[in-house]
Amino acid sequence: MGQIWDADIEVSLPLAKHLILSQFLKIACRKIVHLGEGFDNHVFLINDDIVFKFPRRKKYIDLIQNEMNVLSNITLRTDDVTVPIPKWVGQETKEFPWPFWGHDLIRGVEGHLVELTRNQLVNLGKMLGRFLRHLHRVDTISLESNIPPDTLGRLDVRKRTEKLKGTLEELNKKMGVQTSRKLKFFLESMKEFTLPENVTLVHGDLYARHLVINKGTLAGVIDWGDAHLGNPAIDLAIAYTFLSKEAREVFFENYGPVDDVTCRFALFRALCHTATVMIYAMTLENIPMLKQSQSAWKRCEDALD
């Protein structure tokens, strides 16, 4: 049985170059490299300054279309933190049956590939807090008909707890990850809480790999396919997975007041998401991602105290 991230179509360098050159005649493709891949996209870098994304699975076509829609219709820029803006939109062809798109490169490296100093983490906490404060205050009235709700139940306690328990069993067998008493207590206690009715525009999949870091500062936030109208706790999970306790405090100082129940759901989301990332990284033998997700797991467990 395949994994949920296995590709339906593998996009080779020659195919990517052909599709780009045949549809965008003004791009002189002097150099093309494969930057990487995720659950839903192959990513290529053109001439060291243009990024193109190609879907990997038919199931995720809606994600790339959603990403283009969100990023084309909202303005997000705070503290020099940028997001990708669709500049080239490719159409389906006989060689490739799905749309694809390109944007100017946001220079830097993904968050799981950098070692940050204490001061840099604190500064990132400040920048992330301000960025999400801006995102979660975007006026969504004109966007509601085009942006989906949370159809995956990302904060569904019963559903996600059961999935997390299964993931932890697999992690225990393959990596020796133990389920602590405090984690069991936390998961059991979550049954007592009701998710606050607070709906905003959220990124939906915010973790280290989707942060672009340049010289120790936050340069950009990428991969918006999971953006939707949902509870801000989904994004606030980044405060637990990526930031130290000190940086987390700075994060919330800059984000603004958050009630205790929302924080609990943010930590719940952080635990569920991080466990999945550990399995994903282990399966792909992606050592930097695995190390970062292990660090994220420790931060989450420490936050349970």
Single pTM value for the model:
0.93
pLDDT in tens, 138-173: 987 766 668 899 999 999 999 999 999 999 999 999
pLDDT in tens, 211-259: 999 999 999 999 999 999 999 999 999 999 999 999 999 999 999 999 9
Alpha carbon distance, N-terminus to C-terminus of the chain: 38
Does domain 13-104 fall under CATH 3.30.200.20? My reply is yes
DSSP readout, 190-248? GGG-------EEE-S--SGGGEEEETTEEEEE---TT-EEE-THHHHTHHHHTS-HHHH
pLDDT in tens, 59-83: 778 888 999 999 988 877 676 899 9
> Could you tell me the residue ranges of all domains in the chain?
13-104, 109-303
Structural tokens at position 37:
């891949």
- pLDDT of 129 above 80: yes
pLDDT tier for residue 84 given thresholds of 50, 70 and 90: very high
Classified by CATH at the fold level, domain 109-303 comes out as Aminoglycoside 3'-phosphotransferase; Chain: A, domain 2 (3.90.1200)
Structural tokens at position 153:
């139940």
What span, in angstroms and rounded, lies between the C-alpha atoms of 204 and 206? 6
